[in-house]
Amino acid sequence: MAPVVRELRRHADRFEARVCVTAQHRQMLDAAFYARFKVGHVEAGTVRLVGPHREHIVAEARRPLDDEAEYERIARAVNPYGDGRAVERIAEALL
């Protein structure tokens, strides 16, 4: 959702973008995430499950920044989500 919100904010004269996440929604999102992405996306190399602990999240986020081989591996992974142009298409449809 972040790319969509960011794109809508670029057009603040036409849209007011707001994001709201409650603890209840977070629990549902976590359950859906782990059920859906646990296997295929992790195997594809585009998702990494690291858990909710800050130190693990930060360490995993830094890996491709600190390790050139890891960066190249991620950059070349086939994205199971699509071609990365969804935000452009959504903005085009809305504008």
Dump pLDDT digits (tens) for 37-78. 556 667 777 777 777 788 888 888 888 889 999 888 888 877
- Whether residue 8 is predicted with pLDDT greater than 60 in this model: the reply is yes
CA torsion, ordered 37, 8, 84, 56, to nearest 10 deg: -40
CA torsion, ordered 61, 62, 68, 70, to nearest 10 deg: -40
Indicate the domain borders of the chain: 2-94
Average pLDDT over residues 79-93: 79
